[in-house]
Structure formats: structure tokens, C-alpha cells
Amino acid sequence: MRRKITFVGSLGTTTRVIVVVAMAIVISLVRSFHRPLCSSSSSTPKHLLKSRICPLWSPSFLFCLPLPPRSTLIRHSYLPSVSPAAAHRRGSFCSATLPSLMSTVSDDNPLLKDFVFPPFDAIDASHVRPGMRALLKKLDSDLVELEKTVEPSWPKLVEPLEKMLDRLSVVWGAVNHLKSVKDTPELRSAIEEIQPEKVEFDLKLGQSKPIYNAFKAIRESPDWAGLSDAQKRIVESSLKEAVLSGVSLEDSKREEYNKIQQELTKLSRKFEENVLDATKIYARLVTDKKEIEGLPATALGLAAQTAISKGHENATAENGPWVFTLDAPSFMSVMQHAKNRALRREVYDVYITRSSVGKLDNTPVIEQILKLRLEKAKLLGYNNYAEVSMATKMATVSKAEELLEKLRSASWNAAVQDMEDLKQFAKSKGAPEADGLNHWDIAFWSERLRESKYDINEEELRPYFSLPKVMDGLFNLVKMLFGIDVEAADGLAPVWNADVRFYRIKDLSGKPISYFYFDPYSRPAEKRGGAWMDEVVARSRVLSDDKNSVRLPIAHMVCNQMPPVGDKPSLMTFREVETVFHEFGHALQHMLTRQDEGLVAGIRGIEWDAVELPSQFMENWCYHRDTLMSIAKHYETGETLPEEIYQKLLAARTFRAGTLSLRQLKFATVDLELHSKYVPGGSESIYDVDRRVSEKTQVLAPLEEDRFLCGFSHIFAGGYAAGYYSYKWAEVLSADAFSAFEDAGLNDDKAVRETGKRFRETILALGGGKAPLEVFVEFRGREPSPEPLLRHNGLLQTA
């Protein structure tokens, strides 16, 4: 997945997660260590895999929901592969170095205790400053010692470097994860104060010439040919990342580079906080039932529950009062189901202008981010920031643009027909707005048309998708495909909220191979929106304990679906089911890796535009008959989803595919334009760019007041800068990968298992230890083709 692709050319890397590796590791890893993979949800600056800040990538959502910042790659709170019993007897977080740290800080600081699983239940803001400062002081000392003693060999260079990065990532990862799921002003303040010190260490490590020269010596030594593919990837990626981190700059330019990095880190954090705060501010109280006509019982139950949390103690789903917010489950319910057009318009207007006024205005933040990214690119010798971004991806700027244009031209006519169909349908229903449909009408009438065309009502399907059943079905699927067992292990590891579940994954012999946390429900007061997967601990030979040959990986999955209401379990929309499958795909690549070199294990070291492959691949199984029927059981009666409804879901899969494709292409194109052609402070504003791109990617032009960019966390607070195209790039890969199962025969269990085994042994097992195109070819037997994606979307004929 690294070089050339049949449809376009070289591909790059994708999500959530990981940018990359070693020296760069340095900055890359350190940066990378905090990058969740987002579903649309992620994010985090280059860190979240999948990030999904907002399921922008998902055909399920018509609107961008906040994604986890992918600011740095992956999160490395490392956990050793010890047995549960051993885990309670002893910890394994930097146990050799903790005593010296503990002597400098209060013994009560959980960040510095010897632990196996991060003490999420015990960490609070008061621990961040002293804990991080003690850790950074120790790591700075370790770095000085490493620079004095470093030799161009694996044991004297890469292994101590990996250990150093691990210590930092386990603590910083836990702190930043809590900020995403349990945000408080105190935690924000502590992180804001300590972050410049942490970035300063990252830069020092990333720009270490002794380490850089040692990697160069390995690359040029006679021993190079004897290194494994994974080891060569680590060396090459480390050298590249070091250069991108400024190691080769003259002193004055390096100082300028470092100032830019510090400021960019601060601005990205500010952007994300503004979005979160602007989202939290809006709370629409409704007391008149007439205003909420059309809203389903689940939405009213959530609105009443929200009202209770805001002091309306007697609120009920039937009689109110109700409070609606910009949080995804609430926002989408209003846009899709509220007959009250004025309410839809109000909510839509507030949503598209989030973070664009007053003290939360992200416009100047965006301008400064783009200005500094361009300055950074020029310092490094590139023409623009997009070229910097593509330096570590499969694609080039021109190849990404080529793919986007091919998909745009294949989607445009279908999208125009989508709009015409919507107008005609609204007219047939006597809607006064039929001849002037506006943005706040699209989701509502699309849902009505879908219900009419396929006789499917998403809200009426919720009772068939209870969270416990969905998870059971998902776990049964991966057992069949990949030969693993997933079992509950609640209580084994501390959690940050009572709703969080903890699981253990075993191979079929009963041997544990990984663990993961699952945080499913929306908590708008403290939790970032969207859905994402992130690393807690990576598989590693170097960081194994005394009794195990390798440390086992740990992940966490975070979603924002509707919580249980009353005595009902969490009842999911079909789109939320897809989201869970998506994030679990990311987690599987992290947890099922067989790569023992920690710097390229799991999702680490995988080019950003390839990392979405497993996540988007897993979504396809939501339409697989046996899988869906095992999930879709009525939570009260146990009745299986009727066959005719399943057939309608299949038929509806390509509903408005042209429109949904264009939406993602718009995001990707705006991203590339802003990072390759836009001139900060020039004659064209960021909103001019947005409107210009919209002329070719939106059938219905955006409103003059649209400030979508002010909430586009994927590219301004996450790792998708000049990389949002990765969703489509990886979608080509994932659709083609799934077509291997179609070719084998989806009804042939033996063939599916054999193909699943091959998928596990390549896509899921090899991590970043081999170029993604090579991994794909090893699985598929050929380079990727865009045909399966166009076919799955019903756009092949159009193309």
C-alpha cells in the first residue's frame, strides 16, 4: 500500500493513528503516539485512528460531527502482557525507572506509580503538572545519556529509544485520553501549562543529531541487508521523520521551526476546545409538544433525560420539557425527523456557525494554523504543507487530486438526480418548501423519501439493534473470520466511567492476545463528539516482562451513541451499528498484529492513507445476511429482523450515494486546496475557497453564513491536514479487499474462513512493518482497483 495503485498511483496512509515511527518517532512517534483513529469520529491530531471526529467519512451521517483530534499519532500507554493474576501482584510501567521518579514527586501521584493498566479512575488534574514534569526531567536525563553512548546497532539505539518513547506515551496518553472523555477546566489548564514542556522534549528528541547519525550509520552499514523488512522500515521512516522534524536545519531555522511547532500545538488545542465549548453552549428548551412533532420516542426520551440533567427534574419523554443539543444523537434526530421547519433551521444554523463568533471564533485560529503550516513547509524546503503531509503517505498531491476528481465525476450526475428526486417527492407530499428546498430540509425529506421508497424507518428499527446484541454479533463474526474469542473482563482494569466495558481477546487455544476498552455513550458535558479508536499499549518484544516474550496490545474504542433510557438498553440506529463495526476494524488491526517490533506494530508506522482499510472493510459485514440477522433481534420479543426489511436495507445501501460521495469529496478537496494553493492573508479567504470548491462538489450551494470550517476538527485539531482524502483512498482499498470475500463466495463458510485467515495474516498482522501496497498485494494477489468501490456505491454505470 505504499506505491502505485492501479487506479491512481501511489497510496499513502490513513487514519487514526499512526504516523510513524522512530526517530521521527521521535516527533513522529511522540506526536504519533497521540493520534486516535477516527471514524468521523476521531480524533485527534495525527493521533487518533480513525479518528473519527465526525463520521464525515460515513455515508450514514449527513453532517460533520466532531472528530477526535488526531494530533499526534497514537497513544502509547503501554501495558505488558502479563496474566491477570500477575497484573495484580506487580505492575510493569517503567518499573526500573519509577523509583527515581517517585522520589521527586508525591508518592500519591498515580501517573508515576508502577501499574499494568493505566489508573484511569484515579488520575485527576492535580497529578498532571508534577507527574509530567518529573517524567520529562527523567527522560531528558535518559536522552542525554543515550546521545553519549549511542551506537549504530539495534540494542544500543532502537531499543532504548523505544523504551524512552514508551514511558512518555503511557503517561501522556492517559492524560489526553481523559481530556477527550472526561474533560474539565482544571484538566485543560494543567495540559495547557505542561504541553509546551512536553513539545520541547519532543523537539529535542526529534532533532537529536547523535540519534539521527546513528540511524544513518545503520542504513549505510554492511549489516543493512541482514535486517528484517520491519527493521528497515523503522530506520527509513525514522530518517525521514527526523528530517521533517527539522534535524537538518541550521540553528536559526531550527529555532524558528520549534517556535512554529509550539504555536501549532497550542492552536490545535485551542481549536478543539472552542468546538467543544460551542457545542456545549447550545441547549434548546422546548415545552410545547407541537414544536417537536415527528420526533421519535427515542429522541424525546434522550431530550427529557438531558432536561433532567439540566435541572428540570420532572421531565418525561411524553410531557417534557425537552432539551435538544448539538450532540450527534440529538442534532441528527431533529434534522431527520422534526416536522417543525423553523426548529430544523434554528438547529442547523447554530450547527454550521459553531465556533465562528465571539471568543470562541475559530476563524483567526484557522488563519494562523494555515500560515504557520506554510511557513513550516518552506523551512523544510517544500512548496506547501500538502507536500509535507504527503511525504509520509502513499499518495502524492497530484495522485490524491486525480483520485478525487475521478470519484467526483462519477458522483456528480447521480447527486444532481438525488436532488431532483427529493424535490419531486416533497412536491408530491404537498410541502410548501418543495420548490425551494434548503439545507435544513435535506435530511428531513431524505429520510421521508427513504422511508417511502424502501419502507424503512430507522427509528422503528432501533428496537432490533440493542447494543448488547450488536456486540455479541460482532464478536461472533470476528471469531468466524479471524479465529479469536472476545470475552468480558470487567473489573480487571480501572475505567474512567461506569459505562465503560473492558474486554479480553483470546486465540482459539484460550491464550490472551490483547485487550480493549469500549466507551459507547454520549456525554456531551464532558466527552468529545464523534467516534474513534486509539492505542493504549502496543505489542512489543522490547517491552515484554520477565515471563512473556512479547507485551500484548491494548486499545480503546469510543463512540457517542444514545445511552440507555429508563429500563431500555441503548437502542442503535443502523448507522451507529456501522460506526461500531468501523472502530472495531481499527482496533483489530492494532490488537491482532503479529509484529514484535514495537515501533511498527499494529497501527503504528502504517501510512495514513492506508490505515482506514480495516475499519471501512468491517462496515461491509453490516450488510452480510448471516451477520446482520445474528445482530438484529428485537430487544423485548427476541424476534429476528424480518427478511423483507433486510432486503430493503440492502436495496437502500446506495440511496443518495452520489450526494454522500460528493460530501466526502468536498471535505477532502477543501482540505487539499487550503494546504496546497491557499495563500494566508491573500485576496481569497478560507470561506472563498470553501465556496469555490462547493461549486463542483455541492448541488445545493452552501449558505453565505456557513462556517463549517470552524468546526472541521479533522484537519485543524487532528491528523488529517492535507490527509482527509485518505478516507476515499482507503475506501478503494477496503472495498477491493471485501471483494475478495465476494469472489470466494459469502455463503461459503469454508471459503470465507480461509479468506479471513489470509486477511488476518496480512492486513491485520503485518502492521507498519511492510509497505501497505505490498501488504495489499500479498492479500489480494494484485494491486487495488476502484471498481469494487464504485460498484458497492451503485456508481459504476455512471462512471
- Report the sign of the C-alpha dihedral through residues 584, 786, 622, 668, in that order: positive
Residue type, 226: G
Q: What is d(CA 341, CA 346) in angstroms, rounded to the nearest whole number?
A: 9
User: Residues with Cβ < 8 Å from 701, sequence gap 6 or more?
Assistant: 691, 694, 695
- Rounded distance between C-alpha atoms, residue 640 and residue 258, angstroms: 59
- The per-residue DSSP string of 554-611 comes to EEEEEEEEPPP-TTSPPBPPHHHHHHHHHHHHHHHHHHS-----GGGSTTTT--GGGT
* Spatial contact of 10 and 16, defined as CB atoms under 8 Å apart: no
- Among residues 162, 576, 583, 619, which one is catalytic? 583
Give CA–CA dist 12/784, Å, rounded: 13
Number of neighbours of residue 616 by Cβ within 10 angstroms: 30
- Cell 493504549 appears where? 536
d(CA 140, CA 138): 5
Cβ atoms < 10 Å from Cβ of 569: 16
| Cα separation, 234 vs 137, whole angstroms | 27
Q: What are phi and psi of 79, to 5 degrees?
A: -125, 130
SS3 437: coil
Chain centroid to CA 59: how far? Answer: 16
C-alpha angle 795/797/799, rounded to 5°? Answer: 70
Q: What amino acid is encoded at 57 in this protein?
A: W
- Torsion angles phi and psi, residue 20, rounded to 5: 170, -40
Catalytic residue status for 754: no
SS3 117: coil
| Cis previous bond, 321, omega within 30 | yes
Q: CB neighbours of 163 closer than 8 A, spacing ≥ 6? A: 94, 542, 543
Distance CA 18, CA 36 (A): 8
Over 523-558, what HEC string results? Answer: CCCCCCCCCEEEEEECCECCCCCCCCCCECCEEEEE
Answer whether 629's CB lies under 8 Å from 621's CB.
Answer: no
Residues taking part in catalysis: 583
